[in-house]
Chain A
């Protein structure tokens, strides 16, 4: 059974710092990996989707990498801003499951002004 783990569970940084969020998954047989953002009490917003054949994706100040063989992904946020404060969720689609997303518990990020 696929399991997704995110470290750290919570992170607090001053504004302007570059930071890295980590995600690991137990089964490397995946179709893709996605990073989502969730604001308190709200739904999820997709940030980046990396197909299994890709190694990274970039969007603005965000860069996500994927090392499928080692079961790891990182989300890099450059020059963090208070508006980046949210919970960041990592999810994979295992190769055996159609489009079923398996989520990690998330990293709660606070960027302090």
Chain B
């Protein structure tokens, strides 16, 4: 497989459930990102990891917990979510967080619905 993959593609969960989103990149990149895309809103950066270290947390509620075990994998652990957390969650990767001349490569996203 190539590029950035995300699983699952669709997820429905109750507010008391615990679930995890998975992202994997096959591009040899060192930086990985989680974004949230809600209807009628711009993409919002949630977290950034560079060389497995978290470099950005954009004031994300603690019910979202990221994990980056290595440079190729990124997880987003979800617990006690709210209906307003329903959105498309996109993962991205790039060569390095500090390389501003490089673009980011996005996965297809996980469509999350919280009931």
Contact = CB atoms under 8 A, between A and B. Distances in A.
Contacts of B103: 34, 46, 49
A61 B111 CA distance: 31
A76 interface: no
B90 to A, nearest CB: 6
A93 B41 contact: no
Majority-rule SS of A interface residues: strand
B58 to A, nearest CB: 8
Given A31-B100, A43-B107, A43-B108, A100 B43 contact: no
Interface string A4-39: 100000000000000000000000000110101000
Nearest to B43: A103
Interface in B34-89: 40-43, 45, 48, 55-56, 88
B97 A98 contact: yes
Nearest to A34: B103
A49 B94 CA distance: 14
Given A43-B107, A46-B105, A99-B99, A105 B88 contact: no
Contacts of A93: 100
B97 A42 contact: no
A101 B97 contact: no
B: contact size bracket = 20 to 34
A51 interface: yes
B43 A89 contact: yes
Contact of B90 (A32, A43, A102): A43
Given A42-B108, A99-B104, A105-B40, 18 more contacts: A41-B88, A41-B111, A42-B109, A43-B90, A43-B92, A43-B107, A44-B92, A89-B43, A98-B48, A98-B97, A99-B31, A99-B97, A100-B45, A100-B48, A100-B56, A101-B45, A103-B42, A103-B43
Interface of B: 4, 6, 31, 40-43, 45, 48, 55-56, 88, 90, 92, 94, 96-109, 111
Interface of A: 4, 31-32, 34, 36, 41-46, 49, 51, 89, 91, 93, 98-106
